[in-house]
């Protein structure tokens, strides 16, 4: 408004100056400027413009009115021309005022546009800063993920090495035990054979028997046998056997035995046979103990051999660049199964195929399982492709509700997991861990894509085993920052822990 007032004042001053200045008539000086004079007006030629100008003169002092002048003075043509020019100037002033108002409006609009552009620039700068922070965050997460994968690779290499060393150690122990068992069995057989071959020589028996009948004493008999070259052990055994035979003869000759002639004859026959055949030591307690020990060792060795030859259903082969003997590339492990086991549909473990149908027994059971929505306690109770989630058979596709912008689909590629035991894992889908020698295992499932803006769901398959056999499987669902309930084993009380999804790394379009 101040600008408008100043402009109006300038125009008024210009108008006042122009009103007191000479007026350019616009007629060329080629005409006689004096010919334009009328009613006493004075005209002259302006050499600069070569046009005729009307000379303005100050009005004269008013003279006394003529007594005879009674009529009103009528306007002259010069006065009429001046009024027209004033009117034209006023119109020009109005036009200028309109132009000024338009310029002021345009200036206000331009100023608001500039402010809007500045706001957009600020917003773009903020988004750029956010993108840079996001890029740094992604770089940090990528570094963390790479570190975690390297750690997992080292752990897997260590487990593979430990597994190989354990297998080698088991084979060595088995061989040593088999050798010990064979040696023990051989020694026992040798001892048994030698013990059975240590018979009483009939000559010594006859000599001792005759010497006793002659009235010789025991020490005399033993001394004479030693002089003859017999060993003390043979002498003692023969003397003991002779005493036993004499005692049996004495018992058979007693009247209270009431033995008839047949019995006496049989007894004498038996005595003679006993005197002629070798006498065996059938009641040696040492021999019985040795036989028992050898038998126990043989049975234990057989059990160990059976254990070493069965139960190895899974073998891991180290692959480098997709080749078993590769020299460069990504290190992976190929799972191989021995009959009656085969590779499961996920390709990361072995399953039992008891009927040799080429399909896992658990998959065959799922073929006749429950449909979606059915009540369940185990994944194996549901049809193939369904999981037991919160006691309901459900597909992973049905877990998302479709919130957000579904024209843009997102998916996660890595998960950072924490356990209540203080362990941290950087995993991708289809990976997990276990405790209690595999008795309680957990694995992250591959989740389908979700709409941008919807919170990602992390499904975790919980597998409980007993002596290598699967007892139950179920799926729990967690979101980023959420902690699970305590996971426990039904028969091993000390196996209990919880899982927390610390961070979800997902890929979303802009």
**Pair (319, 411) in one structural domain:** no
Same domain, 407 and 500: yes
Q: To 5 degrees, how large is the angle CA 490–CA 353–CA 301?
A: 75
Q: Is residue 207 part of a domain?
A: yes
Per the model's pLDDT, the better-predicted residue between 449 and 141 turns out to be: 449
> Is residue 431 in some structural domain?
yes
Q: Which residue has better confidence, 31 or 483?
A: 483
Are 496 and 406 part of one and the same domain? yes
Asked if residue 502 and residue 407 are part of one domain, the reply reads yes
Is there a domain that residue 35 lies in? Answer: no
> Residue 25 falls within a domain, yes or no?
no
Dihedral sign, CA of 273, 275, 277, 278? positive
Domain that holds residue 226: 199-280
DSSP assignment of 259-298: --HHHHHHHHHHHHHHHHSPPP----HHHHHHHHHHHHHH
Tokens coding 35: 């010919």
Per-residue confidence at 88, pLDDT binned at 50, 70, 90? confident
Tokens 């790394």, residue located: 505
Same domain for 341 and 413: no
Q: Is residue 377 part of a domain?
A: no
The residue from 280, 305, 336 where one domain ends is 280
- Residue 337 DSSP SS3: strand
Is residue 303 one of the residues assigned to a domain?
no
The reply to whether 413 and 503 lie within a common domain is yes
77: pLDDT confidence band, cut at 50, 70 and 90? Answer: low
Question: Is there a single domain that holds both residue 265 and residue 324?
Answer: no
Q: Compare 472 and 343 and report the one with higher pLDDT.
A: 472
| Total domains present in the chain | 3
Alpha-carbon dihedral 263, 264, 265, 267, rounded to 10 degrees: 90
Domain boundary among the residues 280, 298, 326 is at 280
* Cα-Cα end-to-end distance for the chain: 49
* CA–CA distance, 435 with 441 (Å, rounded to integer): 6
Cβ-contact 415, 331 below 8 angstroms = no
Instruction: Kindly tell me if the per-residue pLDDT of 147 is higher than 60.
Output: yes
Q: Is residue 135 part of a domain?
A: no
**Are residue 422 and residue 334 in the same domain, yes or no?**
no
Q: Residues near 431 by Cβ (< 8 Å), separated by ≥ 6?
A: 152, 443, 444
Residues 318 and 274 in one domain: no
Cα 466 from Cα 471, distance rounded (Å)? 6
Same domain, residue pair 410 and 469? yes
Greatest CA span in the chain, whole angstroms?
Answer: 222
- Closest to 222 measured CA to CA, from 335, 213, 212, 374: 212
pLDDT digits (tens, 9 = 90+) for 328-375: 766 666 777 878 888 876 666 777 888 888 878 777 766 567 888 889
Higher per-residue confidence, 193 vs 61: 193
pTM: 0.38
Residue 250 lies in a domain: yes
Summarize pLDDT for 101-144 with one digit per residue, the tens: 888 888 888 888 898 898 889 889 888 888 888 777 776 766 66
- Say if CB 459 and CB 444 are below 8 A apart: yes
Mean pLDDT throughout 210-215?
81
The span from the CA of 434 to the CA of 441, in Å, is: 4
Mean pLDDT highest for which of 176-180, 316-320, 326-330, 438-442?
438-442
Same domain, 333 and 274: no
Domain's final residue, options 238, 265, 280: 280
Instruction: For residues 276 and 318, state if they share a domain.
Output: no
């Amino acid at each position: 408004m101040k600008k408008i007032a100043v402009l109006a004042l300038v125009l008024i001053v210009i108008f006042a100056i122009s009103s007191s200045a000479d007026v350019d008539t616009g007629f060329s000086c080629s005409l006689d400027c004096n010919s334009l004079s009328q009613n006493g007006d004075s005209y002259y030629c302006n050499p600069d413009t070569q046009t005729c100008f009307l000379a303005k003169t100050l009005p004269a002092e008013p003279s006394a009115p003529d007594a005879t002048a009674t009529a009103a003075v009528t306007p002259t043509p010069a006065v009429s021309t001046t009024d027209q020019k004033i009117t034209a100037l006023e119109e020009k002033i109005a036009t200028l005022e309109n132009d000024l108002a338009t310029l002021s409006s345009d200036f206000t609009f331009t100023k608001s546009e500039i402010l809007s552009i500045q706001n957009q620039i600020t917003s773009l700068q903020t988004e750029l800063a956010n993108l840079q922070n996001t890029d740094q965050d992604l770089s940090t997460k990528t570094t963390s993920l790479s570190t975690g994968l390297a750690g997992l690779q080292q752990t897997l290499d260590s487990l593979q090495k430990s597994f190989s060393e354990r297998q080698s150690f088991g084979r060595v122990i088995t061989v040593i035990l088999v050798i010990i068992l064979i040696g023990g069995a051989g020694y026992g057989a040798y001892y048994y054979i030698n013990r059975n071959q240590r018979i009483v020589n009939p000559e010594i028996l006859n000599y001792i028997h005759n010497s006793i009948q002659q009235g010789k004493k025991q020490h005399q008999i033993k001394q004479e046998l030693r002089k003859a070259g017999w060993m003390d052990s043979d002498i003692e055994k023969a003397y003991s056997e002779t005493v036993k035979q004499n005692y049996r003869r004495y018992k058979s000759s007693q009247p209270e035995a009431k033995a008839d002639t047949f019995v006496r004859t049989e007894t004498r026959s038996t005595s003679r046979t006993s005197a002629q055949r070798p006498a065996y030591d059938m009641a040696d307690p040492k021999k019985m103990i040795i036989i028992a020990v050898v038998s126990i060792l043989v049975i234990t060795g057989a059990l160990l051999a059976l254990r070493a030859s069965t139960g190895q259903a899974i073998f891991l082969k180290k692959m480098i660049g997709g080749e078993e003997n590769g020299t460069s590339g990504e290190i992976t492990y190929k799972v191989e199964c021995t009959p009656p086991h085969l590779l499961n549909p996920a390709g990361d473990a072995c399953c039992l195929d008891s009927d040799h149908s080429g399909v896992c027994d658990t998959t065959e059971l799922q073929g006749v399982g429950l449909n979606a929505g059915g009540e369940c306690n185990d994944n194996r109770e549901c049809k193939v492709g369904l999981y037991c989630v919160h006691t309901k058979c459900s597909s992973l596709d049905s877990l998302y509700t479709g919130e957000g912008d579904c024209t843009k689909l997102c998916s996660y590629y890595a998960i950072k997991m924490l356990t209540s035991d203080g362990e941290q894992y950087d995993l991708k889908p289809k990976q997990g861990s276990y405790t209690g020698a595999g008795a309680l295992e957990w694995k992250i499932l591959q989740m389908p894509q979700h709409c941008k803006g919807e919170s990602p769901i992390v499904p975790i398959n919980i597998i409980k085993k007993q002596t290598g056999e699967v007892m139950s499987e179920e799926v729990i669902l967690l979101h980023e920052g959420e902690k699970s309930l305590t996971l426990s084993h039904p028969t091993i009380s000390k196996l209990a822990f919880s899982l927390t999804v610390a961070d979800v790394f997902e890929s979303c379009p802009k």
